[in-house]
Structure 1
Amino acid sequence: MCGYDAVQRLLVVHQSAPEYQSRITANHGSIRFYDRAYSKKTHYLSNTYIHHEQGKRVPICIDGQDFPSVEHYFQYCKFVYALKDDAEPQLVQQAKQDILMAERGRDASVIGSPKGSHYKKLVDPNKWKKVSDCVMYRGVYEKFKQIKVLKKELLDTFPCVLIEHTPQGGDKFWGNAGDDSGLNLTGQVLGKVREQLYKEQTHHYSCV
């Protein structure tokens, strides 16, 4: 229910439900997001988003470590789960520290990126490919599970399709490449997390 072809199916299934009619109509069946410059309203869906409450950052805590954003967690995990056998421990530790200290999610992405980063020699691309989907899912799930206001915002997007709308020619794997030709895996992960959180919420209410 997260790909582009799902838009029309969602419209058909939910268009008669009063609680969804206005939401679907207002968004034409989909909600697009990228960075703050693209849309302040939907920026919270982005992996680079850093949440603040009362002027203070609200971190995401995973396995006892605080991360400013999902992007920080995602890049950090490259140096946990996908190291080359000959990776130098001291350099690995420095890479993780630099990511944690990155001011913005986009800065963390640059540090962990295989393009130009002097840390790229530490990461085995094949190992990372095997685990990156699971890492992404966990990061997104923990973000919306832990930060209640964001959880409500995400649940309130249902049944709209979520699309990471990158710049034209941008990421074709995690995003939509700017023209909906990309796989939009970030949007698909968000859709799966939304579904899981909804199931957990309804189960909780049924047990109260």
Structure 2
Amino acid sequence: MRISFYDLNGPYAEFCNWYPAPMELDGRTWPTVEHYFQAQKYVFDQAHFECISQLTTPQETIDYSRAHSSTVRPDWHHVKNEVMLKACMAKFQQHPKLKELLLLTGDSMIIEHTANDSYWGDGGDGTGRNQLGITLMLARTAIINQERTF
């Protein structure tokens, strides 16, 4: 079975990085996964990091990052998948109802279905990488494995 999601108005909106599920991570409370993810681009630049952490909406964090792309940490392309997994793990572990929803997907393929992104999404036609879907499936597996050890 395939489970597709994209925005806050569609099915499985809870899987979207913009979904309002505040989480504690690295000593701070982040309103969304997107806030945490965008801020991590600037861990070596405290001013930009702090600015992003104070923005209200996920779209504002993306717009800010695009406007300041020249100062993104140099290793970003090497660490971004790990950063996303860390944020997704925190989101689903800290919100029991969201964790239950993720686990109820069983072994289904999870797909961020959008023509707007061919890296995190499927590119709209299935040719994209679907890295967010892959990340959610990795988080699901990790949570299942953690629960088996207890």
Q: Same fold (TM over 0.5)?
A: yes
State the shift of 1:162 in Å.
0.3
The one-letter amino acid paired with 1:163 is I
The question of 1:96 aligning with 2:49 is answered: yes
Q: Deviations over 1:140-160 (max 9, x none)?
A: 111111111111110011121
Identity value in percent: 31
In the superposition, the TM-score normalised over structure 2's length comes to 0.92
Q: Superposed, which structure 2 residues align to 1:1-208 within 5 Å?
A: 29-37=1-9, 39=10, 41-51=11-21, 59-80=22-43, 83=44, 92-93=46-47, 95-113=48-66, 117=67, 119-124=68-73, 126-166=74-114, 168=115, 170-204=116-150
> Any unmatched runs of 5+ in structure 1?
1-28, 52-58, 84-88
What is the root-mean-square deviation in Å for CA atoms of aligned residues? Answer: 1.5
Aligned counterparts of 2:7 and 2:57: Cα–Cα separation in 1: 11
> Any unmatched runs of 5+ in structure 2?
none
- Whether the 8 Å CA contact 2:111–2:132 is kept in 1: the answer is yes
In the superposition, the TM-score normalised over structure 1's length comes to 0.68
* Divergent runs of 4+, >4 A: none
Aligned counterparts of 1:128 and 1:163: Cα–Cα separation in 2: 23
Aligned counterparts of 1:191 and 1:50: Cα–Cα separation in 2: 20
Q: Deviations over 1:111-132 (max 9, x none)?
A: 123xxx0x223224x4111111
Count of residue pairs the alignment pairs up: 150
Aligned counterparts of 1:198 and 1:110: Cα–Cα separation in 2: 35
State the shift of 1:195 in Å.
0.5
